[in-house]
Structure 1
Amino acid sequence: MWVFGYGSLMWKADFPHCRRVVGYVKGYVRRFWQASEDHRGVPGKPGRVVTIIPSNDPEDCVWGVAYEIPEKHIQEVIYYLDFREKDGYDKVQVIFHPESDSTLEPFPLTIYVAHQDNPFYLGPASIQDIARQIRTAQGPSGPNREYLLKLAEAMRSLAPHVKDHHLSELEHELINLDMNETNGHRSQDEARQSNDGMSVFRFILFFFLSRRLLFILSSLRHSHKEHYDVHQ
């Protein structure tokens, strides 16, 4: 038995397997259109994880990793994956195409897909809205942003020649949001420091002018006294 991972299974295959092959399935695209309330979010504040969507272009590909499961562990792994992918995912059979330098021919395998009629399907949204949701969501398996960044890194490591535009745009937007927040905090800190500096400057100026005023008043009193003494 073979299973295909296109999400967290690409970097976290914590089940028995005897072989791993990088490759792709055709006629699909990978999208962050599935809600996660059990791993990367919580009820009321779900995260977003990937599913694969049938594409209008039969040449579109989703790259990932195929794992061969030893015969004696098949039932164990099926039980584990059914539980892991329990929030809206169903098993389907597709044809897997190993990468070009593999000696294997295309073969059928099992893949977990979240169809549009499942209760956790969120559907499309703008890259900005998806990135904002991912940035703030967190669940039992960790921050949703970690899921996105690890998936992007896994793609760069396993299939560096492949460009997943949806994934790379989300990663870029997430990094931009982080940078904007950091710059905003820096601007606030700089403004606070500037205000503190102005406060010190005003205090010194006030102190200097006060001393100067006291000196002038003292001089006037002294001059007035001398004038008074002369006229006595």
Structure 2
Amino acid sequence: KNCGVEYAGSETKIVYDSKDLTTEKANHASDQTLENEFWVFGYGSLVWKVDFPIECSRTGYIKGYLRRFYQNSIDHRGTKERPGRVVTLVPSDDMESKVFGMAYKIPGDKTKQVLKHLDFREKNGYERHYVQFFPLDSNEMGDLPANEIVIYVATNENESFAGSTGDLTCIVDQIFSAVGPSGSNREYVYQLAEAMRHHFPDQNDEHLFEIESLLRERERR
């Protein structure tokens, strides 16, 4: 457990534009959570880069999705001229398929601040949705909400959705040289892979680890 650990970094600069919330689902999520504490699930950079205040964190998973590098990044790990690739979720044919990640409890007095920050951080095609979260430790169910928690997903309807175009080599080619305001795209892959091994040593995310392996191999050339 990581309960009671407050974010100790520098003050987060909040930049927010209400037009970023364009979907009915996002507005619904906003209505449900702005006045109360809430939980958010991270499966990409949120697994290791938590730049907002939290009350607790939980390791666990969601069902019915696959984590894939199907989203172009023009604001964090790439540019409009040379986009990077970051992860989003796509529906799985197997409803028992699991995506492992971290759930964070946001304290009630920080909800507006954190939602604005996350909406801006995930502004390039990501929308707020709800998802059912399952903690690895079933004994931790008690302090989790009975209903679903917030998640950010880049659907195939957004302009930066790249989809499964090309094989993994094409994705690796795009990632290898991409750099954006948040750093290199390779660093994003390595940080995510390292975090997944740390938190979920028994799980094998084939898509993520194969991309990591291909990047490492290319660096050695």
TM over 0.5: yes
| Counterparts of residues 63-74 of structure 1 (less than 5 Å) | 63-74=100-111
TM-score by length of 1: 0.76
2:131 to 89, 94, 97: 94
Residue number in structure 1 paired with 2:44: 7
- 1:145 aligned onto 2:182: no
Residue number in structure 2 paired with 1:227: none
> In proportion to residue count, which structure has more helix?
1
Distance (whole Å) between structure 2 residues aligned to residue 123 and residue 19 of structure 1: 33
Distance (whole Å) between structure 1 residues aligned to residue 130 and residue 180 of structure 2: 29
Deviation at 1:104, TM superposition (A): 1.3
Residue number in structure 1 paired with 2:115: 78
Where 1:110 maps in the other structure, the secondary structure is: strand
Where 1:23 maps in the other structure, the secondary structure is: strand
Structure possessing the higher radius of gyration over alpha carbons: 1
| Counterparts of residues 1-232 of structure 1 (less than 5 Å) | 1-100=38-137, 102-104=139-141, 107=146, 108-124=148-164, 125-180=166-221
Residue number in structure 1 paired with 2:10: none
Where 1:128 maps in the other structure, the secondary structure is: helix
Where 2:133 maps in the other structure, the secondary structure is: strand
Deviation at 1:176, TM superposition (A): 1.0
Distance (whole Å) between structure 1 residues aligned to residue 91 and residue 101 of structure 2: 16
Where 1:32 maps in the other structure, the secondary structure is: strand
Distance (whole Å) between structure 2 residues aligned to residue 30 and residue 102 of structure 1: 26
TM-score by length of 2: 0.79
Q: Could you say which structure has the greater relative contact order, defined with CA pairs below 8 angstroms and 6 or more residues apart?
A: 2
The one-letter code of the counterpart of 1:126 is D
The one-letter code of the counterpart of 2:88 is T
Residue number in structure 2 paired with 1:199: none
Distance (whole Å) between structure 1 residues aligned to residue 48 and residue 157 of structure 2: 28
The one-letter code of the counterpart of 2:215 is L
The one-letter code of the counterpart of 1:143 is S
4+ residue stretches of structure 1 with deviation over 2 A? 100-103
Report which stretch shifted further, 24-33 or 99-108.
Answer: 99-108
> What is the identity percentage for the equivalent residue pairs of Structure 1 and Structure 2?
48
Distance (whole Å) between structure 2 residues aligned to residue 157 and residue 63 of structure 1: 12
Where 1:103 maps in the other structure, the secondary structure is: helix
Deviation at 1:103, TM superposition (A): 2.4
The one-letter code of the counterpart of 1:99 is L
Residues 132, 102 of structure 1: alpha-carbon distance in 2 compared, 3 angstrom cutoff = farther
Distance (whole Å) between structure 1 residues aligned to residue 81 and residue 66 of structure 2: 27
Q: Unpaired segments of 5 or more residues in structure 2?
A: 1-37
Alignment length, in residue pairs? Answer: 180
